A and B are shown apart, each in its own frame.
Chain A
């Protein structure tokens, strides 16, 4: 089945699923309240904070190559090996080389969207390496053989009782739907894994150029254990994650926590400058940073799209999106769901198969208005649509329809005839235009404004 048909089927299914929608709404609205409160409690002026962050990110993008080289130089000086992966295949190959060199059989991994992007778990499976997710949400979806539902809260769609049942069947835990007990079950399960794993794999929320540091934010402490317990730490990092100075974290850490989860700051914030140094008693013996491009440079070279590389993956645009709230995360079938995903997926994976995501938006601009780094997300959806059309990746009937529309709209006489026949024309064309079985026919007024105007006296 093509991605487009798959999306349509799924979206129709979820649009009709009231229970699913209420569950998601409940989960997101808890965040909504906290996010609003934190924006006003923590920031004197949220709008100015967004603009300041956007300005730093703009500086980063204008100086990306040199900042990345500076990062490499600084972090290498303390023993970290930096590897540059042009695409998914290279990133995968680097990892397999590292795993082979260290004879790794078992890997523990914290939450990282970049690893989702390069299909890290599948890679491990195919190479006989066991991989365990250490983030609670990610562990839940892994045990359920699912993909993350949301870039920040991967198990948003699972209720406590569903998680309880999952832990019971997959981990042999006693039956419970108490959140605290469930967390304890996961913790007990994971403590063994941290100690017995050969490699700890993480992502990074930021990398700091001037100081050669990796920054990780999280709420469970699992990320810190993942990178510090096993003898080898490998971090996969998108090349756009760089910020210039450590000081910039004073803005970006609260900005990310506020936007993503309505927190002042996340519970655990780690700044990592390298593997275990001489005289230190803990930390990994070896550390690798794999800088992943995977389509980012191409976006970088398109002027219109460059701002999308400012994204800090906070998930605010997903939460704000009425389409996401209606169809849910899995419908997108991509690591990055919601508005941000609908901009970057067609760019990363090709218009051929993915342009439908850019069209599946009402362009309400909620995404743009909540974006903490002020990205014009909805306008970039429009740019995608234009690109799809230029590359002739849009639907044949739609192309024809819009050509006819332009022909009609270029002459008032033609429009007059069409509006007289409005209702019948709708009946004729709806079955072609509509992609579902519902075929809604809007209730059109019997008279056009022009007709009314002709009988109107000022």
Chain B
């Protein structure tokens, strides 16, 4: 992501003290632990002009759930302000009108797996597909209907790993049945989960994050 943003002319700060947005604990119902970690996030990112994340899920946590987590808390104001400057990677490119500056080459049949939180929590529907369309040489193949969950769901995939694994198998199958060779996704969670499933079941498909895919296509 850093490489692509640099390539498009942005300077990036990375605070090496940063850790996590707090979502795992929040989703597990442990709101005190979540608030502890999220408070740290708010402190560290308060001064940034813009925050770009390679995950729709983390972005949605900050945008949609920080207001709940910090309701009536001393950081309520600061936490709520973050939602206006945090962007999921593809969303940021669109917001900055940078999609037109994307080019590159990649050969093969490509499918895009939009993460549930990017699609349904953030409403990012068409943007990643528009970005992929800028890359020459690909054949973009999408399963019909709404994006279906890959089964990751954070701690869900630990707690109910058999259900989660079968969901990943089902989701990957929707792409491989179209003969997709590379599945591109915009969330590291989905990526890790589906990649593991592909390895476990020896499914012959490459799974890349949108940023990894663009780095390969643009040859950065």
Name the interface residues of A442-458: CB closer than 8 Å to any CB of B. 442-443, 450, 453, 456, 458
Q: Is the CB of A360 within 8 A of B163?
A: yes
List the B residue with the shortest CB-CB distance to A32: B145
Q: Is the CB of A363 within 8 A of B153?
A: yes
A415 within 8 A of B: yes
Q: Is the CB of B120 within 8 A of A368?
A: yes
Q: Would A399 and B30 be within 8 Å (CB), given that A11-B163, A322-B167, A361-B156 are in contact?
A: yes
Q: Would A389 and B116 be within 8 Å (CB), given that A15-B163, A322-B148, A412-B19 are in contact?
A: no
Picked from A21, A406, A430, A453, the residue with its CB within 8 Å of the CB of B25 is: A406
Picked from A323, A366, A398, the residue with its CB within 8 Å of the CB of B163 is: A323
Q: Is the CB of B161 within 8 A of A436?
A: yes
List the A residue with the shortest CB-CB distance to B193: A442
Give the size range of A's interface with the partner: 35 or more
B82 within 8 A of A: no
Picked from B11, B16, B25, B146, the residue with its CB within 8 Å of the CB of A412 is: B16
* Chain A binder among B33-41, B133-141, B175-183: B33-41
A126 within 8 A of B: no
Q: Would A402 and B19 be within 8 Å (CB), given that A360-B163, A365-B116 are in contact?
A: no
Please give the distance in Å from B24's CB to the nearest CB on chain A.
Answer: 7
B20 within 8 A of A: yes
Please give the distance in Å from B31's CB to the nearest CB on chain A.
Answer: 6
Q: Which residues of B contact A458 (CB under 8 A)?
A: 2, 6, 11-12
Q: Would A440 and B196 be within 8 Å (CB), given that A382-B29, A412-B16 are in contact?
A: yes
Q: Is chain A's interface secondary structure helix, strand, loop, or mixed overall?
A: helix
- Report the Cα distance A410→B41, complex, angstroms: 9
Q: Is the CB of B19 within 8 A of A364?
A: no
A171 within 8 A of B: no
A225 within 8 A of B: no
List the B residue with the shortest CB-CB distance to A412: B17
A388 within 8 A of B: yes
Q: Which residues of A contact B8 (CB under 8 A)?
A: none
Q: Is the CB of A359 within 8 A of B116?
A: no
For A68-109 the 0/1 string (1 means CB < 8 A from B) is 000000000000000000000000000000000000000000
Q: Is the CB of B33 within 8 A of A403?
A: yes
- Report the Cα distance A143→B108, complex, angstroms: 53
Q: Which residues of B contact A150 (CB under 8 A)?
A: none
Q: Is the CB of A389 within 8 A of B29?
A: yes
Q: Is the CB of B163 within 8 A of A327?
A: yes
Q: Is the CB of A361 within 8 A of B120?
A: no
List the B residue with the shortest CB-CB distance to A358: B29
Q: Would A362 and B153 be within 8 Å (CB), given that A389-B28, A409-B19, A440-B165 are in contact?
A: yes
Q: Would A410 and B192 be within 8 Å (CB), given that A362-B151, A366-B116 are in contact?
A: no
Please give the distance in Å from A314's CB to the nearest CB on chain B.
Answer: 17
B27 within 8 A of A: yes
List the A residue with the shortest CB-CB distance to B200: A440
Q: Is the CB of B170 within 8 A of A326?
A: yes
B78 within 8 A of A: no
Interface centre among B12, B36, B159 (most CB of A within 10 A): B159
- Report the Cα distance A386→B158, complex, angstroms: 18
B98 within 8 A of A: no
- Report the Cα distance A186→B119, complex, angstroms: 45
- Report the Cα distance A16→B161, complex, angstroms: 12
Q: Which residues of B contact A430 (CB under 8 A)?
A: 158
For B85-108 the 0/1 string (1 means CB < 8 A from A) is 000000000000000000000000
Q: Which residues of A contact B76 (CB under 8 A)?
A: none
Please give the distance in Å from A328's CB to the nearest CB on chain B.
Answer: 11
Name the interface residues of B145-199: CB closer than 8 Å to any CB of A. 145-146, 148-149, 151-167, 170, 192-193, 195-196, 199
List the B residue with the shortest CB-CB distance to A441: B196
Q: Which residues of A contact B199 (CB under 8 A)?
A: 443
Q: Is the CB of A366 within 8 A of B149?
A: yes
Please give the distance in Å from A5's CB to the nearest CB on chain B.
Answer: 13
- Report the Cα distance A367→B174, complex, angstroms: 20
- Report the Cα distance A265→B192, complex, angstroms: 44
B18 within 8 A of A: yes
Please give the distance in Å from B22's CB to the nearest CB on chain A.
Answer: 8
Q: Would A322 and B170 be within 8 Å (CB), given that A364-B120, A387-B29 are in contact?
A: yes
Q: Which residues of B contact A439 (CB under 8 A)?
A: 161
Q: Which residues of A contact B149 (CB under 8 A)?
A: 322, 362, 364, 366
List the A residue with the shortest CB-CB distance to B41: A409
A433 within 8 A of B: yes
Please give the distance in Å from A450's CB to the nearest CB on chain B.
Answer: 6
Q: Would A402 and B166 be within 8 Å (CB), given that A322-B151, A362-B116 are in contact?
A: no
Q: Is the CB of B37 within 8 A of A16?
A: no
Q: Is the CB of A405 within 8 A of B25?
A: yes
Please give the distance in Å from B147's CB to the nearest CB on chain A.
Answer: 9
Q: Would A440 and B29 be within 8 Å (CB), given that A362-B167, A410-B36 are in contact?
A: no
Q: Is the CB of A16 within 8 A of B166?
A: yes
Name the interface residues of A373-422: CB closer than 8 Å to any CB of B. 382, 384-390, 394, 398-399, 402-403, 405-406, 408-412, 415
Q: Is the CB of B159 within 8 A of A433?
A: yes
- Report the Cα distance A249→B18, complex, angstroms: 54
A12 within 8 A of B: yes
Q: Is the CB of A362 within 8 A of B156?
A: yes
* 30 intermolecular pairs with C-beta atoms under 8 Å apart: A11-B163, A15-B166, A16-B166, A36-B145, A322-B151, A323-B163, A326-B167, A362-B154, A362-B157, A368-B120, A382-B29, A385-B28, A386-B31, A389-B31, A398-B155, A402-B28, A405-B25, A405-B33, A406-B37, A410-B19, A410-B37, A410-B40, A412-B18, A415-B19, A436-B160, A436-B161, A436-B162, A440-B157, A440-B200, A456-B2
Top 10 A-B residue pairs of the complex, sorted by shortest distance between their CB atoms:
A362-B153, A385-B29, A364-B149, A406-B33, A364-B116, A389-B29, A365-B120, A15-B166, A386-B29, A15-B162
Q: Kindly list 19 other residue pairs between chains A and B, CB separation below 8 angstroms, not including A402-B30, A406-B30, A412-B19.
A: A15-B162, A36-B145, A322-B148, A327-B163, A360-B156, A362-B152, A362-B156, A364-B153, A369-B120, A388-B29, A389-B30, A402-B33, A403-B33, A406-B36, A415-B19, A434-B159, A439-B161, A440-B157, A456-B2
